[in-house]
Amino acid sequence: MQIQSPVKTIINATVLDTTDFTLKPEKTLEIRDGLIAEIRQSIAADREVPGVLDVGGRIVMPGLIDAHVHVTAATAGLGEIAHSSPNYIAAKSKRIMEQMLARGFTTVRDVAGADYGLARAVEEGLFHGPRLIFGGKALSQTGGHGDMRGPGETKLDDHRCCPAIGVVCDGETAVRKAARDQLRTGAHHLKIMLSGGVASPTDRVDSIQFSDAEIRAAVEEAEACNRYVTGHAYTARAVNRGLRLGVRCIEHGNLIDDESVELFKEFGAFLVPTLVTYVHLKRDGAATGLPLESQRKVDTVLAAGLQSLERATKGGVKIAFGTDLLGEMHQYQSEEFEIRAQVQSSEQVLRSASTTAAELISAAGKLGVLAPGAHADLLVLNADPLADVSILARPDECIDLVLKAGVIEVDHASAR
Domains in the chain: ranges and CATH: 9-62+368-415 (2.30.40.10), 64-333 (3.20.20.140)
Three-state secondary-structure class, residue 288 = helix
Three-state secondary-structure class, residue 199 = coil
35-41/22-32 β-pairing: antiparallel
Three-state secondary-structure class, residue 388 = coil
Contact 152, 101 (CB under 8 A): no
- Judge residue 177's burial from the number of C-beta atoms within 10 Å of its C-beta, 0-12 exposed, 13-18 middle, 19 or more buried: middle
Radius of gyration of the chain measured on its C-alpha atoms: 21
pLDDT in tens, 25-70: 999 999 999 999 999 999 988 888 888 999 999 999 999 999 999 9
Contact 192, 247 (CB under 8 A): yes
pLDDT at position 149, please? 61
> Measured between alpha carbons, how far is 38 from 23 in angstroms, rounded to an integer?
17
- pTM recorded for the entire structure: 0.94
Residue type, 83: H
Which helix (DSSP H) or strand (DSSP E) does residue 25 occupy? strand 22-32
pLDDT at position 416, please? 83
Q: Which positions of the chain have pLDDT values less than 50?
A: 1
